Chain A
């Protein structure tokens, strides 16, 4: 297993409002299972946080196969929120997550406001003792909720909440009412005005914004003349979407004062630097884990080297530098 030995005097501490992480590298929901899958390759203990697979109130089988289609520098998926459901998550998965020695972000998805309310209040009981002055890492329990209002792979709900500002605000407000945990609103890129969406979730009571979720896409097999995915459409991720993600992080940074978790095609440390310069306080690694399970560790080392070479003693100095006017 690969190790990460950071330098002693470099300050990796990452502040996302009240959520304080040991470093800014997170893994994205749906790409990191429940954390256990990667332990042979990369210890989650080196990561700032892991975000688990999206949870719904009831178990879901997800979509039929094929669920994957490769595109140039990209990947279309239509997993369709397959997950064990809230009850089994709490019983079979959450206890093991506490042994991974990293902050655990639970991604929640629903089909109605009631679903989101139910998930938020149930998970509140498992909140990690967070006093907003210490790094969340070794403590057991949930560090934050990431609210998925933007899944493109389910027919009802999901993206419908994430593409209409009023609905997005409502969902976040319902979650806010039912939890004291830091709320991360995960935004969909499938909108005309991302700044408007950011303002909406801010009004709803979000503490942090993560973006982007996948871009709705499609791929057709020219031999069979049919869509490759059983679900026909799916979410595009991978390096192909990165410029869209960087642009949206840049716009959201200007639109709202909330801390940002940048993601979308982030594959190398250079990509991580780019997202942070655009305004992300933390970055999340998704599809890159599939290519290279060591990607999060390589990104950490690269970030540290980039900063120290430029005389920054803290990772926080990088955030938003691309917005300087001179």
Chain B
């Protein structure tokens, strides 16, 4: 939908040099938004930058008709976004894209790298009332980053989590993929696979492409279905321009393109042709 949403909140959270902002929009998007979807926001009235900015939805409050978005200032577009004041209207297309599968039972393991945690927040929030047990593994650069990316909100949601940092300033020192390997080892009986089917374990991940590739490999090795949320440069956001494609391997073994904005941003990790360079 083509919408005007009212800005309820748009402020820096955490340490200033982390540049992470929380944006809350009031309007129609919240009514139909699902975890893993995004909004395509116009950040400027001029032609520079020309395109809208796709931002993943981190929180959905249907009663208050609000969606929460976190973003990190990375360039001209996100910098202009920080200058939009409370009560201003912004032009938004959304909610767009295909989100995560929402399980109704079993266990869901979430794996996040850096600001890739944001779309997973909405999944945690939606599942907080469901009969699904959720655990988040989240890796970041350091403690300052994790705290700035609203770590407190995670604690408030009451989800089971483990974190890793590159410098060891918080949690495990190392990569989130190490946490994932450890998690799968400890949660398995010596016979391994049996317990997995009994537990209905699934996984969902978001983060840098290299991390998602590694996470997918680890999950598939353990027979765990995994969904990944991908990022790509986007223009239209609605599937018309073919700017943001992802290469997948079809059931016939042939390579195909899918649109990150339309069939994605969430894909089955197994179908993504991680090494394709065509």
Asked whether A and B interact, the reply is: yes
Which A residues lie at the B interface, using CB under 8 A? 2, 30-33, 37-38, 40-41, 53, 61-62, 64-75, 77, 79, 82, 238-240, 267, 287, 289-294
Stretch of B170-178, B194-202, B217-225, B230-238 lying at the A interface = B230-238
Which B residues lie at the A interface, using CB under 8 A? 1-2, 42, 47-52, 91, 93, 232-247, 255-257, 262, 277-278
The distance in angstroms between the C-alpha atoms of A61 and B250, with both chains bound, is 13
Determine how close the nearest CB of chain A comes to the CB of B263; give it in whole angstroms: 12
- Contact status B50-A238, CB under 8 Å: yes
The distance in angstroms between the C-alpha atoms of A173 and B49, with both chains bound, is 42
Chain A: CB-nearest residue to B243: A68
Determine how close the nearest CB of chain A comes to the CB of B95; give it in whole angstroms: 12
The distance in angstroms between the C-alpha atoms of A61 and B255, with both chains bound, is 8
- Contact status A267-B47, CB under 8 Å: yes
Cβ 8 A contact of B51, one of A239, A267, A290: A290
A-B contact count (CB 8 A): 105
Q: Which residues of B contact A79 (CB under 8 A)?
A: 241-243
Chain A: CB-nearest residue to B44: A291
- Contact status A61-B278, CB under 8 Å: yes
- Contact status A31-B240, CB under 8 Å: yes
Chain B interface helix/strand/loop/mixed: loop
- Contact status A67-B236, CB under 8 Å: no
Q: Which residues of A contact B241 (CB under 8 A)?
A: 30-31, 33, 77, 79, 290
Q: Given that A61-B257, A66-B233, A238-B47 are known contacts, is A289 also in contact with B240, CB under 8 Å in the complex?
A: yes
Determine how close the nearest CB of chain B comes to the CB of A44; give it in whole angstroms: 12
- Contact status A82-B239, CB under 8 Å: no
Q: Given that A65-B245, A290-B235 are known contacts, is A70 also in contact with B240, CB under 8 Å in the complex?
A: no
- Contact status A41-B2, CB under 8 Å: yes
A sample of 29 inter-chain contacts (CB < 8 A) reads: A31-B236, A33-B241, A37-B238, A37-B240, A40-B1, A40-B2, A61-B256, A61-B257, A61-B278, A62-B245, A64-B247, A65-B233, A65-B246, A67-B233, A67-B243, A68-B233, A68-B243, A72-B47, A73-B47, A74-B50, A75-B235, A239-B47, A239-B50, A240-B47, A290-B50, A290-B51, A290-B236, A290-B240, A293-B238
- Contact status A32-B257, CB under 8 Å: no
- Contact status A75-B50, CB under 8 Å: yes
- Contact status A70-B49, CB under 8 Å: yes
- Contact status B47-A293, CB under 8 Å: no
- Contact status B42-A291, CB under 8 Å: yes
The distance in angstroms between the C-alpha atoms of A317 and B238, with both chains bound, is 36
Q: Which residues of B contact A30 (CB under 8 A)?
A: 241-242
Chain A: CB-nearest residue to B277: A64
- Contact status A75-B233, CB under 8 Å: no
Cβ 8 A contact of B2, one of A66, A267, A293: A293
Determine how close the nearest CB of chain B comes to the CB of A197; give it in whole angstroms: 26
Chain B: CB-nearest residue to A73: B47
Determine how close the nearest CB of chain A comes to the CB of B38; give it in whole angstroms: 15
